[in-house]
Amino acid sequence: MSKKEVNTDIWVASMLKENEIKYDAQGSTVKELDEALKTASKRGTGHAGYPEYVAVIDDFVLVVEDKADTSKQIKLTENGIIDMDTKAVTDYAVNGAYFYAKRIAQGSNFKKVFAVGVSGNEKHHEITPLWVDDRESYKMLPDLESFVSFSPQNIHEYYTRYVLEEETDFEKTTEQILKDASELHEYLRTYGTLKDQDKPLVVAGILLALDEIEYGGFNISLLTGDQTSGMRDGDKLMNAIKGRLTRSNVGPDAKKDKLLAEFSILQTSFRLNEINEVLGKTPLKFYTEFLYEHVFKNIKYQKTSEDFIGRFYGEFMSYSGGDGQTLGIILTPRHICDLMCDLVDIEPNDVVLDPTCGTAGFLISAMHRMLSKADSDQQRRNIKKKQLHGYELQSNMFAVACANMILRRGVSRVLCKSIQ
C-alpha cells in the first residue's frame, strides 16, 4: 500500500471520529456483518473481503471505501450505471463500496445501508454516497464535503430527506412557520394598521407574554377587550412581558425600561385594544391566539438553531421593501450562522460577542453549539448567563433579539447603543 493510500485511510478515519461515528476497519465486530463479508472478495475468489471501514449507526450501516487518487472515484458503464466488473470494483472507490454494501444488504438483516466512496485528501477530495437495497438497485445521492450527515445526530434526517425524499420535521416546521408569517402579516395589516417596524415588536412582545403561561403569569382568557376595569388587553400583555423580563433577570433597569418602551405599542395603539366587529374580539387577542397555536409552540419546543423570530421579521419585510435592507437591516440565514460557528470551532468555554447582532441569529447558533458540547449543568448555566453578548444599534431589533434569546432560555446579554 502506497504512502498516499495510507494517508487517505488516516484522513477518512479522522473524519469518522470527528463526527462521532464508531467504526471498524477491515471487517466488523458485528458478527452478522462479518459473516456477510466472509465471501465478499472483490476478485470473486470466494474468500473474505473487507472494505476500509464499516460502521453501525442506530439501524443504519455505513460502508466506506477510499482511494488516494480522485481519478479513481467512480467508474460508470456506457449506460451510466456503476460498473461491477472485477477491475472496476477493485480499482474504484464507489464501485468497491457498492460491492460490499450490496453483500451486506443481501446477506444480513441490516437493510438500511449506505455505501460511500471517498478519494483524494483533506484539500482536494470527492465523497459520493449511495443508498443500497437488498436487490440489484441503488440510489446515487449528492456528493458531500464531510461525514457530518452520517453522524448519530443527523443520519435519520439525512435518510428522510435524501433517500425517502420527504420533508424532515425541521423543514415542515420552517415551511409552515413561513406560511403562517405570510398569513399573520395580512392580519397585522388588516386589523392593526401597523407600521412595518412595529410588526415584529408586536409578535415578539406577545410571544414573551405567552411564555409566562407555564408560570401562571398569563392566560389568553384574560384578554376580554373589556376596558371598564381600566385594564386593556395591551396592559395585560405588558404586565406579562414585565413578569417575563423579571423572571429572566433582565437588567439593569435601563435595559428593561428600553425593552418595555419598544413593546409599548401594545398599550398605546387604540385600534389594537378595541374590539373588532369582524373578529368579535380585540386584534391583540386574535394575534395572541394565532401566535399561540401556529407559532409559539413551534418556537418554544424547537431544538434547532433556527432563528424563527428572525425568519418572521425577514418574511414581514419581504412584503414591504424587500428583505429589510432598505431599513439598514441584513438578516443572516441560519446555515451561514451555523457555518461560521463551525469555522471558528466554538467550544463550551468560549465567550461569544456579536457587535451587530440583529435578531440574535448568530448568538442562538453559538448557544446551541456550545450547549451541545457542554458536559455539566453548571457549564450550561454559565453559557446562558455569562458567555453570550450582543450589541445592536436599532432599538426595535434590540428588543426582538432580547425576546429571541429569552424564549430559548438564554439570559439576554444584548445591549442597545442608546443604553449607557
Going by C-alpha positions, the residue among 72, 62, 163, 159 that lies closest to residue 118 is 72
| Mean pLDDT for the stretch of residues 334-346 | 88
| E strand or H helix at 235 | helix 233-247
Q: In the numeric block, which cell numbers belong to residue 204?
A: 415578539
**Predicted pLDDT at 411:** 62
Contact 279, 273 (CB under 8 A): no
The whole-chain average pLDDT of the chain stands at 83
What pLDDT sits at residue 18? 85
Q: Which amino acid is at 413?
A: R
Confidence band of 199 (pLDDT split at 50, 70, 90): confident
Tell me what pLDDT residue 345 has. Answer: 92
Q: What is the mean pLDDT of residues 357-379?
A: 84
Domains along the chain with CATH numbers: 3-163 (3.40.1350), 169-416 (no CATH)
Q: What are the φ/ψ torsions at residue 231 (nearest 5 degrees)?
A: -115, 105
Q: Using an 8 Å Cβ cutoff, are 141 and 126 in contact?
A: no
pTM of the predicted structure, to 2 decimals: 0.57
Q: How many helices (H) and strands (E) does the chain have?
A: 18, 9
pLDDT at 351: 93
Q: Quote the CA–CA distance of 357 and 360 in Å, as a whole number.
A: 5
Which is it for strands 352-354 and 388-392: parallel, antiparallel or unpaired? parallel
Contacts of 288 (CB under 8 A, 6+ apart): 206, 209, 210, 220, 223, 237
Q: Kindly tell me if the per-residue pLDDT of 301 is higher than 60.
A: no
Stated as kind and residue range, the H or E segment containing 316 is: helix 308-318
pLDDT tens-digit readout, 158-183: 898 889 888 766 666 667 777 887 88
Residue-level pLDDT at 317: 55
Angle between helices 199-210 and 283-291 (to 10 degrees): 70
The pairing of beta strand 53-57 with beta strand 60-67: antiparallel
Residue 248 has pLDDT above 90, yes or no: no
Average confidence (pLDDT) over 111-126: 91
Closest-CA residue to 40 (of 91, 98, 94): 98
Q: What are phi and psi for residue 286, nearest 5 degrees?
A: -60, -45
Distance (Å, whole) CA 149 – CA 157: 8
Residues 6+ apart with CB under 8 A from 20: 151, 152
378 has a pLDDT exceeding 60: yes
Strand partners, 56: 61
Residue pLDDT, tens place only, 249-283: 776 777 788 888 889 999 999 999 999 999 999 99
Helix (H, G, I), strand (E, B) or coil at 257: helix
Does position 307 have pLDDT exceeding 60, yes or no? no
Residue 416: half-sphere exposure toward Cβ, Cα within 13 Å: 22
Number of C-beta neighbours around residue 377 at 10 A: 8
Q: Which residues are CB-neighbours of 79 under 8 A, at least 6 positions away?
A: none
Could you give the CA distance from residue 357 to residue 391 in angstroms, rounded to a whole number? Answer: 6
The span from the CA of 353 to the CA of 343, in Å, is 15
* Structure confidence by residue, pLDDT tens digits, 82-95: 999 999 999 999 99
